[in-house]
Structures are given as structure tokens and as C-alpha cells.
Amino acid sequence: MMLAVIARRLAAALPTLAGVVVVTFLLTRALPGDPAAYFAGPAATREAVEQIRAQLGLDRSLGMQFLGYLRELARGDLGLSITTGQPVLSDIVARLPASAELTLLALLFAALAGISLGVLAALRPNGWLDNLCRVIATLGVCLPAFFTGLLLIYVFYYLLGWAPAPLGRLNAFAAPPPHVTGFFLIDSLLAGQGETFRSALAQILLPALSLGIFAVAPIARITRGSMLAVMSSDFIRAARAHGLSGRTVVIAYALRNALLPVVTTLGMVFSFLLGANVLIEKVFAWPGIGSYAVEALIASDYAPVQGFVMTMGFLYVLLNLAIDLLYRVIDPRMEVTA
């Protein structure tokens, strides 16, 4: 049953993925800058640049370039990065865990904070928590994530000195833990390296907070509205008429029902986070795929940008699949309507 659903969803995602492939190809061709000139260097002659252009295949027609691109994709070849000299695929595979760890932690933080705030606000509409919620929502909309990041660095690193320097995933003296998942927080625990875990946690806290804060507001708002609607429904009155305790009514009865629209929102919020990630990684010198893409973009290096957008497309499809499955776990009614 579950497998059939997964297969159906993946099949439905194929057109999206095809679209991602076409758009990434066209987008990078439309970007300003001449990679051949960049690669050849400022002192190169016109002939040298043309030679390199031919080497890179950039002198062929757009259609021919696209066919070549597809052939390479089919082989799992995302091309070479001109700046790092490495295959883009291996660059991305090496940097993806850093981005994933940061984004997932930010999402976890945003979900916990947003859902708790939303529930508390709904239990006492127009109470002080409800008003706090509204303030956070407004701030979250006004302040871009990278600005929050800079602000947090200024306060917690520069003024208070509580946070370590915003320079990557570990402090300069710690070595990465043995690679299992690529998530330093998990790998260091698996290897029993308490010191490494502490360093990784200290480094990731600020970027995860700056990324997560702006997702708290939409989650809290949706949770509040959905909780208010559920709390006034017949079955909640009935549950209370049967004497169920406040905790059971709020958590097992109301919240689980109220989470259904929240889960849908989480998907959208996650894709926002993926976007905001790019700037946050730059601000915190985080060695993820976002900062990789920005550096490549500045250098007119097509292949990594292409690879990055494609990776995002795939992540987005996978994420929606995960959300869909989670929804099914919570809501038994989905099986009939699907």
C-alpha cells in the first residue's frame, strides 16, 4: 500500500524533474558572464579563449549542448567545476550533509517553537502569548534571515562572546568525526566524541536559529488557526462531555487533528528554508551547497550552479513525498480518497 503510494508519487514527480532539468540548462545559459573568458584568465588571447570555448563545448548550438547535457546527466555526470577542478557531483555529495544538517535542525527548531506557540496562543486567544505570537510573526516577516543572522552574530559573538566565531561547522582545533551520516551532531555521538559534539552544536546553533526564526511565524499562525477551529468542533465538546482530561483533549484529540494543515505548511516552509539557506551559509561560512553555489555563480561557473538547482529540485520532490507519507500516517482517511 505504502509502496504503491510512493511509486505513484514518484511517477507524478517526473514532469517536475524534467522541468527542473530544462530550466537549469536554460537558466545557466542565460546568466551574464563568459565562462570561457573567465577560465582562460585576463591575459589570454582571443584565440586561446575560443580554443577553451571549443573544449567546453560552448561553441556548439544550444540544442546540441542540451543533448550533450542530457547524455552526461544520464551517466550521473554533472560536469566539472572550473573553480574547484572537481566533479560537481562529488563536490555536492561532500557538501550536502552540511546543508541538510543545518536546514533540518532549523526546521526542527521552527516546528517545535511554532507549534507550541500556536497551541498556547489558541488555548488563550488574545492572551499575552497570543500577542507575543503576533509580534514574532510581524518581525519574522520584516527581517530577512541573513539580517537576523548578522544580528545574532553581533550580539552573541561580538558583544557577549557566548558563541564561537561564525566560521564553519567545527572550531579550528576539532577534527570531523568519522563519516557515517555526514551529520556532525549524529556522527560525533555515534563515535562517542563528546568534545566534537559540543563544538558542532556550538557552531550550528546560531545559523540554525537565524534560519529557523523566520519559519516560526508561519507555523505558529497556521497552528493557532487550525487549533482554534478544531477546539470548537463537536468532537472536542463530546470528548470533554466524556470527562477526558484537559491534556488528552488538547494533545491526543485536538492537536493531532490540528496538525494536518500544519504538516502541509511544513513542506512549504522547508522550501523557503532551502532558499534562505544560501545566504545564511554565506554569512556563517558554512561549507554547504548553498555557499558552493554562490561562489560558483560569482565566478560564472555554470556546472555547479546547474548541479545545485538540480539538487534542490530533487530535494523538493523528496520532501513533498515525505510530507505526503507523514500526512497519511496521521490521517487514516487519506487511503480512501487517494
Partner 1 sequence: MNDVAAATLVQAAARAAPRVPVLEVADLSVEFRTRSGTVRALDGVSLQVHRGECLGVVGESGSGKSVTAYAVMRLLDPAARITGGRITFGGMDMLGAGDADLADLRGRELSMIFQNPRASLNPIRPVGTQIADVLLRHGGVTRAQAPARAAALLAEVGIPDPERRARAYPFELSGGMCQRVGIALALACRPALLIADEPTTGLDVTTQAVIMDLVLGLARARGMATVLITHDLGLATEYCDSIAVMHAGHVVETAPTAALFATPRHPYTARLIGATPRPGLALGDLASIAGSLPDLRREDLPACRFLDRCERARPDCAAAPLPRRTEAARMVACRYPL
* Residue ranges in contact with partner 1 by CB under 8 A: 232-235, 237-246, 248, 252-253, 256-257, 330-333, 336
> Residue 32 or 332: which CB sits closer to partner 1?
332
- Nearest distance in Å: CB 259, partner 1: 10
Q: Rounded to the nearest 5°, which phi and psi values hold at 200? A: -60, -40
**CA separation for the pair 58, 60 (Å, rounded):** 6
- Nearest distance in Å: CB 241, partner 1: 4
> Residue 13 or 230: which CB sits closer to partner 1?
230
- Nearest distance in Å: CB 261, partner 1: 13
- Nearest distance in Å: CB 247, partner 1: 11
- Nearest distance in Å: CB 325, partner 1: 16
The sign of the dihedral angle between the CA atoms of 235, 237, 243, 248 is: positive
The sign of the dihedral angle between the CA atoms of 66, 68, 71, 72 is: negative
- Nearest distance in Å: CB 224, partner 1: 16
**CA separation for the pair 154, 240 (Å, rounded):** 49
**CA separation for the pair 81, 296 (Å, rounded):** 8
> Residue 9 or 240: which CB sits closer to partner 1?
240
Grid cell for residue 35: 565562462
> Residue 1 or 172: which CB sits closer to partner 1?
1
> Residue 1 or 142: which CB sits closer to partner 1?
1
* C-beta atoms surrounding 211 within 10 Å: 30
> Residue 67 or 238: which CB sits closer to partner 1?
238
What are the DSSP calls for 49-103, one per residue? HHHHHHHTTTTS-HHHHHHHHHHHHHTT---B-TTT-SBHHHHHHHHHHHHHHHH
